[in-house]
Amino acid sequence: MERGTFLYEVWVARWSLLSGFGITVSSAVLTIIIASLLGMIFGIALTYGWRPLRWLIRLYVDMLRGIPVLVLILFAYYGLSLFKINVPPFWAGVIALGAFSTAHIAETIRGGIQSLPHGQTEAAKSIGLQFHQTLAYVIIPLATRRVLPPWMNTCAEIVKNTTLLSIIGVVEFLLSNQQAIARNYMVLQFYLFATGVYLLINFTISQFGAMLERRFAHLRY
Amino acid sequence: MNYNFNWSVIWRNWDAFLNALLLGLGMAILSLLIGCVLGLLLAYARTSTSKWLQWSSWAYVEVIRNTPLLLLVFMCYFVLPEFGIRFLDKVESFILTLSLYAGAYMAEVFRAGLSSIPKQYVEAAKSIGMRPWQRQRWVVLPVMFRITLPALSNNLISLFKDTSLAAAIAVPELTFTARQVNANTFRVMESWLTASLLYLVTCYAIALALRAVERRYASIR
């Protein structure tokens, strides 16, 4: 390990880089879980919900899709304390990312449900399934299979959006690289390194998505 | 929450907000135009017969689409000067970043557009004796433009929202301005609500304007 080489510098900054990687992955995973659950509920409510509720959710979704995610993150960071919610920047960021991605996933799921052929629900009715059974055994499985590709895209988007947490001072992977750069001025090496790692994360996600698509191929029609 | 709104702060900084909005819009539109040219070249490369062109176009699109935009912004802003590419200012460096980013997305859009042009159109153009470049100019490109128009407008809206990332390199656009006003006056709600509303209204206006353009051009007769 020669002093002053890139590998040596990575070794020096290893703990900071690893913790940054951990923060990136954990914020992404948390956001994906929150956004997927809420997005599913919102998406179903958008299609089958009580009308005023539908309007409310529609308003929420349209508003959040028209605002940049960075604005939401900064708003949460500066504004949550006004609501007597005192959280560290990490959580402010995750809340903002979650709210933003929820809107996107809700819209995806609504599209997925509405693109299902009518015959599927008709058939479920004709064999005497209740509405909640139809939802659980027909609509959700089929729609899930249908929205897998855009949902995976959203997951990759979420991983990319976690870099914005660095702007509110959360030391995620990008910021940990920048801190390393501040020490040794190896601009190109460290940015390329960061790019490579993000590519790897997103490549893993898309491989995982492809695997899910193969596994649930029987749900295509 | 008992928060006393005081909007006078916003009226005092109204010019700054408006200029910031126009700067963001300008950056988005310029990036879209440059990105269109780049995307078109990439799409042609992707559909060409040369394996090398195909592969490099694919690699470019995959790398750009799986890298966080913030990382690309820092790459252009901090790494390019190392190689003697010195920009006149931050805005130009950001426009370059956004153009490269838009190019990758437009490449996908145009590739889909190119492959969805009916074979008969090209055949007909051949049969009346058009040269290859004439076919592109009078048949393929106009038809593709009509097919891809909705995707183009979505991209413009996304790009406009992405200009918020220029705040990270202190380009005085909407997000940065809101942050400045917030820092100077501590009026958290007013600054961020104003920024959010301006983004919302602008996105909505872009959507409406482009919907009108689509109605005018979208049908292929």
Q: Residue type at B55?
A: W
Give residue B220's pLDDT band: very low, low, confident or very high (50, 70, 90): low
Residue B137 has what pLDDT?
Answer: 86
Distances (CA, A) of B21 to B47, B90, B198: 38, 17, 8
CB contact under 8 A, A66 and B182: no
3-state secondary structure of B50: coil
Residue A221 has what pLDDT?
Answer: 63
The answer to whether A89 and A169 are in contact (CB under 8 A) is yes
Contacts of B164 in chain A (CB under 8 A): 68-71
User: B29-39 pLDDT, tens per residue?
Assistant: 999 999 999 99
CA of A82 to nearest chain B CA: how many angstroms apart? 7
Residue B1 has what pLDDT?
Answer: 65
3-state secondary structure of A171: coil
What does the alpha-carbon distance between residue B40 and residue B46 come to, in Å, rounded to a whole number? 10
Residue B218 has what pLDDT?
Answer: 66
Give residue B221's pLDDT band: very low, low, confident or very high (50, 70, 90): very low
Of the partner residues B79, B178, B203, the one whose CB lies closest to the CB of residue A188: B79
CA of A127 to nearest chain B CA: how many angstroms apart? 40
Contacts of B63 in chain A (CB under 8 A): 195, 199
B80 contacts chain A (CB < 8 A): no
Of the partner residues B66, B79, B168, the one whose CB lies closest to the CB of residue A156: B66
CB contact under 8 A, A174 and B3: no
Give residue B164's pLDDT band: very low, low, confident or very high (50, 70, 90): very high
Residue pairs spanning A and B at CB distance below 8 A: 97
- Neighbour count for residue A34 (Cβ, 10 Å): 18
